[in-house]
A and B are shown apart, each in its own frame.
Chain A
Amino acid sequence: MLVLTRKINEKIIIGDDVEIVLVDIGKDQVKIGINAPKSVKVHRWEVYEEIQKENREAAKTKSLDPLKNLPQELMKSLGKKVKTDQK
């Protein structure tokens, strides 16, 4: 792993068009600014990890039988889509 030392407002460039700037340094956190083209996805790493975890949990479902125990009235209204004209 490449480790660089930067001062506030100093930048790092990744490739030709991803720019990272150190905006602020706090006691135990730093604020980072990222300038990147729209085609580059930038997310907090935890978001990825949480979605992966949730997907693994979801993949454990073996059948829809447990849904049969839910109130039938509720299940009937579930299928209906509400059409709204608003965007």
Chain B
Amino acid sequence: MKVSTSRFGEIDITPEEIITFSEGILGFDLFHKFVILNPQDGSPFRWLQCVDNGDLAFVIIEPLNFMFSYDLEISDSDAAFLGLKNAEDAVLYSIVTIPDNAKDMTANLQGPLVINVKTRKGRQVISTDSHHHLKVKIIDEMTKRAEQIKDVVTSLDSGKKKEDGD
């Protein structure tokens, strides 16, 4: 089926691709059907394009593309709503806000999107973890992550050296 969008012109989608957010995205409760558009260049930024309203689209990213770890506790009611039985069926996305200075772009980790890839149902959930903030600077997190990776590698190396010494 063809959908005309303001950002990408006419796009061709199959019904199987559609993800249903039956409550909509917070602030946009009237629009329920979306598809994820993957970039050609392998970039982790994707678009969540609304099918009911061609003007509505969000930039989304998986938190683990820029964070070292992101653990979300999915509540029983959210799991029931999504028909989620196995954690592996859940894909998490964060909505990205890009201001005029793209360096300051932020990801919303307080209201992540959870999608059950099996049922193709989605919901914007509200995290009860006080460490999950509304505006998390993506570039700062990446820098932090690079440091954390370095630390892990260093500790692995030193552990190995000790073994060699014995």
> In the complex, what distance in Å separates the CA atom of A38 from the CA atom of B28?
25
Q: Residue A59 contacts which of B28, B62, B102, B138 (CB distance < 8 angstroms)?
A: B28
Assess whether A52 is interfacial by the CB under 8 Å rule: yes
With A53-B27, A61-B98 as contacts: A74 and B139 at CB distance below 8 Å: yes
A58 touches B126 (CB 8 A): no
Assess whether B103 is interfacial by the CB under 8 Å rule: yes
- Type the 1/0 row for B87-110, where 1 means its CB is closer than 8 Å to any CB of A: 000000001111010110100101
Q: Residue A55 contacts which of B26, B42, B69 (CB distance < 8 angstroms)?
A: B26
> 4 new A-B pairs (CB below 8 Å) besides A66-B98, A67-B105?
A39-B77, A64-B98, A67-B43, A77-B146
Most chain B CB within a 10 A radius of its CB, from A43, A47, A52, A64: A64
Interchain nearest-CB distance for B136 vs A (Å) = 11
Interchain nearest-CB distance for A35 vs B (Å) = 15
A82 touches B68 (CB 8 A): yes
Contacts of A56 in B (CB 8 A): 27-28
> In the complex, what distance in Å separates the CA atom of A86 from the CA atom of B146?
18
Assess whether A50 is interfacial by the CB under 8 Å rule: yes
The residue in chain A whose Cβ has the minimal distance to the Cβ of B143 is: A74
Task: For chain A, residues 37 to 84, give those with C-beta under 8 angstroms from any C-beta of chain B.
Answer: 38-41, 43, 47-48, 50-59, 61-64, 66-67, 69-70, 74-75, 77-82, 84
Assess whether B56 is interfacial by the CB under 8 Å rule: yes
Assess whether B3 is interfacial by the CB under 8 Å rule: no
B80 touches A39 (CB 8 A): yes
With A77-B146, A79-B44, A82-B145 as contacts: A55 and B28 at CB distance below 8 Å: yes
> In the complex, what distance in Å separates the CA atom of A54 from the CA atom of B142?
21
